[in-house]
Every structure is written in structure tokens, then in C-alpha cells.
Chains A and B, each alone.
Chain A
């Protein structure tokens, strides 16, 4: 009749009620305060009493729900579904969105203290992962065919994901590269741009001439180059841009002599 889960949580409820009453009366409660939740009389130390009453309330609710679920026994759940037996294993596809959500949470926490932009970025990551996670969870069980499930998920999300990720990728590359080029001197910027372009050209040549090797190289060097670019961009952004002296429009000073335009460096 009474399930094990119910007995455990109801036992907790009874213990916490007793503890709250004793605690209330022994820490300054009077009249019927601890019995009536402070309606008539004091309850003693409010924090301890309040927490103990909260614990009792939560334990009671959990005990009642568990007994109504028959402790969520497999047989009770099978009856609810009108099937002979319910699965113990629920297929779940691999996903990196939980990690994105965790990073979003971290960024929100750090941003709350350090910079509003980081905070907003964190919230955006959490929101994005919430949507993606929901879609993943739905697609796990959309049909009984896992291949179709994956296709369904991609069919809905890919038209959104690919342009968004593409735009973000381009934005990051442009932003990071521009920070690096603006940080180094004018001559170094030309060298950096030239060398990187030559490396990309060489990489493309290897990729087309020896596809097998090229693919492996891209798989290894691609993430490394991306990471270097982002790290370099962040460091350059922190260091700031080089000093600029703008070309001035040629004009005559009061003496009538033309001003000598200065060169940026």
C-alpha cells in the first residue's frame, strides 16, 4: 500500500516537522507560534525554523507524488503506457549543446561582473543551446528510425544553423584578422597578410593535388589556424591598435605656407 519512496519521504516530513517545532520552541518561540507558522506567537530563529518547515513541505509533496506514481516502478509505468514493458534504455544522440550551455552559463557569470557584452554573449549561448537542445531531444524520439530522426532534425535546423554559423564564422575571421593587422606596424601588416595568403594558397594547392593528404592536413591545421587566429585577435584587441596619424587635407596656414602632410606609420 505505502511504497518505499513514500515511506522515506514521509519519514523525512515527520522528522522535519518535529525538528521545526522543537527548534522553534527552543530558540525563543512562544504561544502557538511554531505550531501555527508564526500566526499566533513567535517562531524563534526564523531562518532555521523557515528552512526546516520548507524541508518538511517539500518532503511531503515528494512523498505524495511518489505514492501516487507507485514509486515510478517499471510495471506501474508500463501500465500507464498500456504496454507490457517499458524500455530501460532511452536512445539519446551525442550532442555538444550541453557543453555550449555550460560555457554560456560561465560567460553569463563572468560577464555579470566584468563586462555587459560578455553577459549578453552568455545569455545568447544559453538561449541558443536551449533551442538546439530541445530540437535534439525531440528528434531523438520523432520516429522509431534513428536515421530519419537525424534527417528530420537537420532538415529543420540546418537552414537556420548554416547561415548563422557561416555569418558568425566570417565575422570572427574578419574581426580577428583586422585586429591583428591593425595592431602590428604598417609594414608588418603587409608581411602578415602576404605570408598568410601564401600559406592559404599553398594549402589549397596541396589539397587539390593530393586530396588524401590535403584532407588530413586541413583536419589538423584548420582548427589550429582557427585557434591561433582567435587568440591572436583577442590579444591584439586587448593590446589595442597602433598609433595612427591621419593624413591631413593640404591647407594653408596663416602665414600662407602650405602645411606638410604627415604620413601614417
Chain B
């Protein structure tokens, strides 16, 4: 007998005796929450996915505004001291912009899409651990709030003029918030990966999994293998900061904390948020032209290869002289090879279009436009990444680094919008075509301008200026960066508007083929 047997027996006997036991329907017992309780209690991963999508777009809009201000600070129109209250504050916002677009915008956006779409694609009713998915969202949101609040309170990832006592607490909070966000994303990644591996419907092998689900499995693995390295960095930095061991790893007058974590936003690790882009492109195009690839296993290989090349953490240049690592064979090989899977994806998309229905409506549909724009930007980013590792070009420690970053971020955002249009019924509801197309065009144009300006700026820079803190770059290029940032902000606003209006129409989950 177990602990629980006897009391139930007694209760049922009592209920039988007075005949008052009211039957409870399964719906009531499962207690699907309604109204305001829904975001706090939901057991439906699709709803958690929607929360992720809307919150990350909102977060993205805020960060895009910071991006506009940062760009403005580079022009002659306003000095950073006036805009942010000093170079240190400028540096804080500069780092917040970069970390946020990875951990608080693109990664959660794609994770949210996966939580809603993957179960339907593999034939499962829900994800493997819906409660863990909910915990993932709330931990991410709370961690994000801690990060943003602590950065505005004087924290951030280091200071240009060394860490003072007052800043130390706020910086410790920023570090803990970063760790919390990473843990939350890892929990979400485990949920998605377990769903793909263990909850596939009968008869569906891993080889038969749709491209987006496969790409999310690969993405989850990439995150699970590389983001923990950042946690290790955070542990050491935190101990260093709180132990006040004279910042054992730090040198006065230098942003050492940031330099220990900047690998997260540089290649190859920055590609980790772009792996699902390939899956979305294959799935969206396939659905748009109603065709399937003749070589599905090739898609798995292409996405898997890109995942392999997106694993970072090993390329940390803070503790060793950068030239020892970044000119090394492995770093160069990873940088050059990343172009291959993106080009192969372009080839695969071409094959799908050839095999599919080529009507004008289909070819000009929102998912097709989004897939095309995302792939082009990702291609541009990986090309710049390849140029960056070619030693004679001297692009390593220049703003070309941020050309890669901006290309990947814009590709991720556009792919997100394309996914919202492709699986509208599973996600938020029908998204207005004008808003979706507008968001794709604006994000594409803005991202393209940022990539171009950062790359040219990298070529013409006399000295390495990775942080663009010299603020004396080419005036015309600074103007282009400002326009690019404005377009990205407008694109994110259009995407958010589209998402909110789609939510108002409501989603009818499961009413369309994934």
C-alpha cells in the first residue's frame, strides 16, 4: 500500500454514502487557466511560445532605440557625453545593446517559435515538459529585467575606467541576471530538444523530422554545449568581483569584464542564434511553393554543419594573446567554412522552388520574401565573417566584427517574422501582410546598411577599434549607421504591431498543417 491509498478510499466511501460527490470533468481538473492567470499558470507550451515572441519583440524595440541613440552618438549631431552622461555610460549601453540582441531578443524569439511549432511538427500534443517551458519564460523575463535595471543603475559588463565600489554591486547584479537568462534559455532548449528526440509520433524517425524542428534540435545542442562556457566565465568574474581581489584578472582602466564575455557576440558563437534561420528558410519556402526536397538528408547535414560551426566558447582571446588564437588554423577554418552551409541552403531553396508551384502569389508571399531576405543577410554575415578571418585583410579587431553581428541579428529577426507568417495559426494568429512585409523590408534594409557600413568602416580603419569608441569614424558611414539603426527600429515596431494585432484576432492552434 502506498501513502495515498487509504485516504482516497475513505473519501470515496464517504462520497458514496451521502451521494453528494459531484463529478469533475477532465477539463476542470486539468484547470486550463483563463484570463489574467493564463501567463502565470499555462500548461500549453504554445502559449508560452507566444509570451516569448511578444516579450522578445518588445525587448527588441527597446534595444533598437538604444541602437539609434548609440548611432546618434557616433555622428556629429550629438556627443555621447550629452546623450548618455559620459563615455562610461555610453560603454554600458553599447554592451547592453550587443548582449541584449543575442540573449534577450533573437534567441528567445526563436525559442518561442519553437515551443509553439515544434510539437505540432513532430506530432506531439505538447512539449516534453510544459511546466519547465513556463519556468523558462519567467526566469528569462526576470533575468532580463535584472539585467536592464542593473545596467541603468550603473552596472553592466565592466567599466572603461575600472570598477568602483558603487558600481560593483550593480555589475554583480548584471552578471547574475546574465547567468539567469542563460539558464532560462538552456531550460527552454532542453524542452525543445527532448520534444524532438523523445516525443515524435510513431513512424517518424529523426530523418523524417521537418527542417525547422531539426534546426531547433541542432540549435538546442549548440546552446547547451556553448552557453555553459559563458556561465563558467560568469562564475569566475563574479568571484573576482565580489572577492575584491584587486580584480585579479582585471587591469585598471580597461573593460575587462566585457572582454571575458565578448566571445558570446562574436563569431563563431554569434552564429548560434542563426541556426534556426536555415530551418525556417527550408520550411517556409517548402510550404510556400508546396514542395519537398528530394534530398531531405542533405538538409539535415547542412543544418548540422552550420550548428557545428556555430559552437563557440573555445575561441576566448582574453586569457591568451589574441593573435595566438584568432589567427589559428581552427578559428580561420571555422570562419571560412561557415559560408558553405549557407550557400548550400541557397542551393536547397533553389531546388525547392524548381520542384514546387511557381505561381506569382506563392513566389511573392510573405514567407518567401522573409526567407529570401533572411538568407541573404545571413549569407552576407558569413561572407564578412570569412573575410574577417583572412589575416592580410586586418579585419579581426575592427568594426567588421559588428558587421557579422548585425547581419546575423537582422537575419534572425526577419526569419522570426517569416515564421510568424508561415505558421500564423499555430503562433499568434493571422498576421497582417502589410505589416509583415513592411517589417521584413525595413529590417532587411536596415540590417543590410549596418552590415555594409560596419564592413567598410573596418576596411578603412587605421587602427583596430573594436568598440567603435574612438567616435571619430567616417562621417558619411556614421550617417549610414544611423539610418540603418532607424530602419531596424522601425522594422521591429512594425513586427511588434503585427504580432499584437495578430494576437487580437487570436490563434486557433492546430488548425493548419505544420
Contact = CB atoms under 8 A, between A and B. Distances in A.
Instruction: Tell whether A pairs with B.
Output: yes
Contacts of A117: none
Interface stretch (A102-110, A172-180, A188-196, A245-253): A102-110
Given A51-B229, A90-B126, A5 B197 contact: yes
A75 B314 contact: no
A72 to B, nearest CB: 4
Contacts of B203: 74-75
B198 interface: yes
A105 B201 CA distance: 35
Nearest to B224: A58
Contacts of B80: none
Given A55-B314, A99-B40, A109-B173, A88 B26 contact: no
Nearest to B128: A90
A95 B176 contact: no
Contacts of A95: 41, 43, 131
Contact of A74 (B25, B135, B202): B202
B31 interface: yes
Contact of A101 (B31, B41, B135, B206): B135
Contacts of B328: 23, 26-27
Contact of B202 (A59, A78, A146): A78
Nearest to A84: B202
A93 B126 contact: no
Given A90-B126, A98-B135, A146-B30, A74 B308 contact: no
B314 A48 contact: yes
Nearest to B132: A98
B330 A26 contact: yes
A97 B330 CA distance: 45
Interface string A64-94: 0010000111110110000001001111111
B4 interface: yes
Contact of B29 (A12, A105, A146): A146
Contact of B139 (A90, A97, A105): A105
Q: How would you classify the secondary structure of chain B's contact residues: helix, strand, loop or mixed?
A: helix
A117 to B, nearest CB: 16
Nearest to B124: A88
B228 to A, nearest CB: 9
Given A89-B124, A94-B43, A96-B40, A47 B316 contact: yes
A127 interface: no
A47 B319 contact: yes
Contact of B205 (A47, A71, A90): A71
Contacts of B180: 105-106, 109
Contacts of B202: 74-75, 78, 85
Given A74-B204, A147-B23, A151-B11, A109 B320 contact: no
Interface residues of B, number: 77
B311 interface: yes
A188 B98 CA distance: 51
A48 B315 contact: yes
A98 B131 contact: yes
Nearest to B202: A74
A133 B131 contact: yes
B156 to A, nearest CB: 14
A142 interface: yes
Contacts, number: 188
Contact of A11 (B4, B41, B125, B304): B304
B112 to A, nearest CB: 16
A109 B146 contact: yes
A28 B324 contact: yes
A150 B329 CA distance: 59
B279 to A, nearest CB: 14
Interface string B9-30: 0010000000000011110111
Nearest to B200: A74
A75 B374 CA distance: 37
A152 B28 CA distance: 15
Contact of B30 (A66, A75, A78, A91): A91
Contacts of A113: 169, 172-173, 176
A15 B304 CA distance: 12
B8 interface: yes
Given A5-B206, A94-B41, A103 B142 contact: yes
B198 to A, nearest CB: 4
B42 A23 contact: no
B252 interface: no
A231 interface: no
Contacts of A98: 131-132, 134-135, 138
B89 to A, nearest CB: 21
A22 B325 CA distance: 12
Nearest to A138: B4
Interface in B168-195: 169, 172-173, 176-177, 179-180, 183-184
A74 to B, nearest CB: 4
Contact of A48 (B134, B139, B316): B316
B296 to A, nearest CB: 11
Nearest to A156: B4
A78 B199 CA distance: 12
A48 B325 CA distance: 9
Contacts of B41: 94-96, 99
Contacts of A85: 202
Interface of B: 3-4, 7-8, 11, 23-26, 28-33, 37, 40-43, 123-126, 128, 130-132, 134-135, 138-139, 141-143, 145-146, 169, 172-173, 176-177, 179-180, 183-184, 197-207, 218, 221, 225, 229, 300, 304, 308, 311, 313-316, 319-320, 324-325, 328-330, 333
17 contacts: A9-B221, A26-B329, A47-B314, A48-B316, A48-B330, A52-B314, A72-B197, A74-B204, A88-B201, A92-B30, A93-B29, A96-B37, A103-B142, A109-B180, A150-B31, A152-B4, A155-B4
Given A94-B42, A103-B142, A113-B173, 5 more contacts: A66-B197, A89-B124, A96-B40, A106-B139, A146-B29
